[in-house]
Amino acid sequence: MSTIVSLHNVSKRFGALTVTDDVSFDVPEGEALGIIGPNGAGKSTLFNLITGTLSPDSGRVEYDGRDVTRVPPMQRCLSGIGRSFQIPQPFDRLTVFENLLVSATHGRGLPEGAVEEDCAEVLERTELIKVANSPAGGLTLLQRKRLELARAMATRPKLLLLDEIAGGLTEGECVALVDTIKAIHGEGVTIVWIEHVLHALTSVVERLLVLDFGKVIGIGDPAEIMASREVREIYLGIEV
Amino acid sequence: MIWVDTVLQGVLLGGLYALFALGLSLVFGIMRLVNLAHGDLIVLAAYLILMIVTLLGLGPFLAALIALPIMFALGWALQRVVLNRVLGTDILPPLLVTFGLSVVLQNALLEGFSADSRRIPAGWLETASLPIGPISVGVMPLLTFLSAIGVTLVLQFIFYRTSLGRAFRATSDDPVTASLMGVKPSSVFAQATGIAMVVVTIAALYLGTRANFDPTTGPARLIYAFEAVIIGGLGSLWGTLAGGIIIGVAQTGGAQINPEWQILAGHIAFLVVLLIRPRGLFPRAFD
């Protein structure tokens, strides 16, 4: 199985604060990788480095066998990196359907006629079809989270980055969302998922990566990672 | 009856001001760019139409049709080469650059066409009029007004019914997220300025055929355009049309009382609207 994204000794500093500290890892194509870590561990920054919103101070980011460290965000989007945001950022003045159209046409470089049906299908799968013609500015939290997922899906990504998509949802909502994510993963989309809702995460991912103060402190089988002493101390705050 | 005539003439004049303002409104709405050279670009387009009329011996409407793609290309290049470089969180650099552009344009036009005032000849249309009951309406003012409505309708269609319009609105909403979705803000902005220059050319056609212009005519047109945009509520196209009409009616109304009051009455109407509705008549819902 080939590697779809890999980071090699990537570091990023904001002033004196090192938010990504010599991070290296590979994600094989088709895998679902979960990323956990305390608040401020640098999880979202890691996503920004993969999507290209931020450039690393040192190290390399490779995607699909190419060095993309200096490739601008929109090029990366065109080549198949889709992302959802922790704080949903829809275009408030556009309708839900228009939000999807924009990502689909520009994210895939296709005319609207070619993606309309696809967008409708994504709305169906993410259960947003009923609010398709409402402005995105008026959606509820759950709907905004769903729109984040739908918008990322509308670009037909090879690599889907999910940033705390399950945060703030009720148990039932969370289960429904996890089912959708499982279905997407089942179609062969590689997923990297940052999440605090551990049971949602571990029901999907094959490997877990733990980040603390910008450093990778563990990566591997979820059960083994969760059982390790270091992770329990740092992440779960359990004295062992 | 005199007042009905005054209001009607004011509404028609408002069409011209709306045409001045729509390009400005479009650019501001999409990229939060205040183009201080907007009035001078209208005058530049008027000279371009005049040149085509004199050199090729064409009518003003045909000449404007030829000028449209030239001005679109000019707007596109202006955005690509100059304006995209200064857009950012700081509002000052674009103001300075477009102010400089205004000075350069005025002086280049002065060099090229002298300070003589000129007019685009429109033949019999200049004096043609239609009788509507006891009132007589000029054909050119009527065409101006209908063009303003036409331009508003077309821009509205582009904005809300096309892929390009969705990219305009998405970029205006959030350029960073839009670029993550694969929208290229620099290219979207260049197309927007190109379209604004098409509107500028239509405005120039009516400015040049109905009144004299010279290289220093631009800044005053910019003021009327600004007032129309602000009265309408920043970034709203129908609001801009309404803003133009309000200034037009105020001006003809002022002139009816005393011819010296024409310009002043327009500015006073603007100040009154600003006092009562500081965000304009049709402000945007989310800002």
Tens-digit pLDDT profile for residues B138-172:
999 999 999 999 999 999 999 999 999 999 999 98
Reduced to 3 states (helix: H, G, I; strand: E, B; else coil), residue A4 is: strand
Sheet strands (E) in chain B:
129-132, 135-138
The answer to whether the CB atoms of B173 and A91 lie below 8 A apart is yes
Asked whether residue A1 falls in the same domain as residue A106, the answer is no
The CATH number linked to B271 is: 1.10.3470
Q: What is this model's ipTM?
A: 0.72
CB atoms within 10 A of CB B116: 8
Asked whether residue A94 falls in the same domain as residue A111, the answer is yes
* Within a domain: B130: no
Asked whether residue A149 falls in the same domain as residue A120, the answer is yes
* Within a domain: B191: yes
pLDDT at B271 (0 to 100): 95
The answer to whether the CB atoms of A137 and B286 lie below 8 A apart is yes
Contact B135, B5 (CB under 8 A): yes
Q: What is the mean pLDDT of residues B68-97?
A: 94
Q: What phi and psi values does residue A95 have, to the nearest 5 degrees?
A: -75, 165
- Closest in B172, B183, B286 to A106, CB measured: B183
Asked whether residue A126 falls in the same domain as residue A188, the answer is no
- Give the count of domains, chain A: 2
- Extract the residue ranges of chain A whose pLDDT is less than 70: 1, 235-240
Contact B209, B190 (CB under 8 A): no
With contacts defined as CB-CB under 8 Å, which chain B residues touch A105?
Answer: 163, 166-167
Q: Which of A111, A138, A154 is the last residue of a domain?
A: A154
Contact B29, B234 (CB under 8 A): yes
The CATH number linked to A165 is: 3.40.50.300
Contact A193, A36 (CB under 8 A): no
- DSSP code, position B123: G
pLDDT: which is higher, B1 or B254? B254
- Closest in B166, B170, B182 to A74, CB measured: B182
Residue B284, pLDDT above cutoff 80: no
Residue B286, pLDDT above cutoff 60: no
Strands A58-63, A190-194: pairing is unpaired
Answer positive or negative: Cα dihedral of B265, B271, B277, B279. positive
CB atoms within 10 A of CB B40: 26
Helix, strand, coil % (nearest 5) of chain A?
40, 25, 35
Asked whether residue A73 falls in the same domain as residue A93, the answer is no
Domain ranges, residue A101: 88-154
With contacts defined as CB-CB under 8 Å, which chain A residues touch B167?
Answer: 102, 105-106
Q: Which two tokens stand for residue B45?
A: 């387009």
Residue B67, pLDDT above cutoff 60: yes
- Give the count of domains, chain B: 1
Asked whether residue A44 falls in the same domain as residue A95, the answer is no
Residue B285, pLDDT above cutoff 60: no
pLDDT at A209 (0 to 100): 94
pLDDT at B114 (0 to 100): 94
The answer to whether the CB atoms of A137 and B183 lie below 8 A apart is no
With contacts defined as CB-CB under 8 Å, which chain B residues touch A137?
Answer: 285-286
Asked whether residue A99 falls in the same domain as residue A51, the answer is no
Asked whether residue A142 falls in the same domain as residue A170, the answer is no
Reported confidence tier of residue B287, pLDDT bands at 50, 70, 90? very low
Q: Which two tokens stand for residue B124?
A: 């019999």
Asked whether residue A161 falls in the same domain as residue A212, the answer is yes
Asked whether residue A169 falls in the same domain as residue A65, the answer is yes
